[in-house]
Amino acid sequence: MSLLRSTHRFLVSQSFYPLVLASFLSLIFFIGRVVYTDSWNYRNLVWNLFLAWVPYGFSMLAAGIGRLAPRHGWLLILPGVAWLAFFPNAPYIITDFYHLVLRPPVPLWFDIMLIAIFAFTGFFLAIASLRTMQYLVERHLGKIIGWLFAIGALGLSGLGVYMGRFGRWNTWDILLHPKPVLKDIAEHVLNPLENPGFTGFTLMFTAVLFVFYLMFVSMSHPQAAEEPERENTPIR
């Protein structure tokens, strides 16, 4: 029972249950559309959702290692690198609105909701996994380094999403074709004024991710703010 309770607390700390619920709801919407239309339109959403779970999985692996071996930070390097490589796949689903068109007999509002639930699930998979990784970095290297790490990861995510959507590169290309990928990235980064679309998209996407991430990490249980007042209240 203690193992079950410990596992449950760990999953709660990783926001696992609401993310599973959101993913399940996304799949229900998609299956309903397939049954209704007898077509597989938007099936790319399912694959992209799977890819969004990959960095989250690596963050959970890193968190588990951090709990079992808290003094051996070097063990986090491999899952951390894997997490960073796949991290842009999570918020990438937001760009699937690019494919939104009216596809009778399905009303447009349904497809908007369909893409939205997939997109927000991927978005919060990204935010939850980044929070975990930032916490691990903070624990070993300090709070300032932790925030620099988070901001850097968000910036790389914005860059990665652009390269995935418009450059048509994917995570596997980093391993299979690293030279052309790095060359393409370098050309965009070193010549930002010649690539206004790249610069604007990357900055905008990074800014949106950063603001939502701040909203996520700033949330606390309402009762937490009341604790000091209760402690200082004299007993009558």
Question: DSSP secondary structure string, 52-82?
Answer: HHHHHHHHHHHHHHHHH-TT-GGGGHHHHHH
Tokens at 22, concatenated: 């959101």
Burial 90-101 (b: 16+ CB within 10 A, else e): bbbbbbbeeeee
Listed in sequence order, the residues at least 6 apart from 152 whose beta carbon sits closer than 8 Å to its beta carbon are: none
How many C-beta atoms surround the C-beta of residue 212 within 10 A? Answer: 16
Residue 21 burial by CB count (10 A; 0-12/13-18/19+): exposed, middle or buried?
Answer: exposed
Assigned token pair, 153: 């990861």
User: For residue 178, with 0-12 CB atoms within 10 Å meaning exposed, 13-18 middle and 19 or more buried, which class applies?
Assistant: exposed
CB neighbour list of residue 188: distance below 8 Å, 6 or more residues apart: 162, 163, 195, 198
Nearest CA-CA partner of 99 in 121, 87, 120, 114 = 114
Q: Which two tokens stand for residue 56?
A: 């989250």
CA distances from 2 to 7, 9, 140, 141 (A): 8, 10, 28, 31
Q: Are 44 and 100 in contact (CB under 8 A)?
A: no
CA 46 to chain centre: 15
Report the predicted TM-score, pTM, of the whole model to 2 decimal places.
0.85
pLDDT tens digits, the chain, 236 residues: what are they? 688 888 889 899 889 999 999 999 999 999 999 999 999 999 999 999 999 999 999 999 999 998 888 888 888 999 999 999 999 999 999 999 988 999 999 999 999 999 999 999 999 999 999 999 999 999 999 999 999 999 999 999 999 898 888 877 777 777 777 788 888 888 888 887 888 888 899 999 999 999 999 988 887 544 444 444 444 444 44
